[in-house]
Amino acid sequence: MPSVALITGAATGIGNLTARALAAAGHTVYASMRDIHGRNAGRARELLDLGHSEGQDIRVVELDVQSDSSAEAAVATVLDEAGRLDTVVHNAGHLYVGYVEAFTPDDIHRLLDINAVGIQRVNRAALPHMRARRSGTLVYVGSTTSVVVPPFLGPYVASKFAADALAQVTAYEVGQFGIETTIVMPGPFTQGTEHFPNAGHAGDGERTRAYAELDPLVARNEQATEGLFPPGVDAHPRAVAEEIARILALPHGTRPFRTVVDFSQAGVEEVNEVLRRAQEDFVTRLGFGDLLRVKETRS
């Protein structure tokens, strides 16, 4: 059944591709981004024009995940216009590349605020409505980095660990109100996003220079990543958008808790399965096994 979906960080990359994929599948899509009348005005207009030309219901809404009031206003707009909110796709994020020591505490605070706390802001805006309806779906665009832990991305990896933990523990609780959770874990991509070109760098230049002998390793990071892809494979992030559309097309109660979209053959699925069994055993022995299943609350 087509849903009303709010997507964060939809100006570019996976968020933009997901907005297009869900709209093509018949969903009402609220593609959110910052500064829709300024620097992202062109990107907003492109999505609106696409919806108009293809007969799709794509709308654009202002949302800065670093602002409580912006998150509240965006969700209020969706509810005022569409009357409901069925799905939130948590996609907004930023990348830092560099040496961990060289990132100042303020640098790391900022990245955690975008990549993890931003999720909490949007959930706090959306969940009261979903709980009242006792239905909804939260889709988190996570990362395989929280399993494979690559070098030179320290604050980013830490923020994705934090976001993944928030998603998991939130799922225990909101599942008792009929709200489903799926964590989509993309592997690395070197095309189709602005992650690497727009990556942030450490604020402490002196500490960065102290690691200069490692600079050649950082310089070939993108090339090294591309070398992980099998020959002839089109490692494009549109595959993530297609996977999100596939998941939302599944019947309520059958959506996977985790799914991996990874062309680097990192073995993340196997790690996830071991982790799942350990977590389920532990939570069950605590006496909270019911929290592992989404409660069916609809007639």
- Would you name the residues annotated as active-site residues? 156
Instruction: Please name which of 138, 139, 122, 132 lies closest in space to residue 177, comparing C-alpha atoms.
Output: 132
Give the integer Cα–Cα distance in Å for 276 and 264: 22
Q: Output the CA–CA distances (angstroms, integers) from residue 182 to 155, 167, 201, in the order listed.
A: 24, 9, 30
Q: Which helix (H) or strand (E) holds 22?
A: helix 13-24
Q: Which two tokens stand for residue 247?
A: 């998941």
Give the integer Cα–Cα distance in Å for 26 and 39: 28
**Coil vs helix vs strand at 97:** coil
Q: How far is CA 180 from the centre of its chain?
A: 15
Burial of 79 by CB count in 10 Å (0-12 exposed, 13-18 middle, 19+ buried)?
middle
Residue with tokens 């109660």: 253
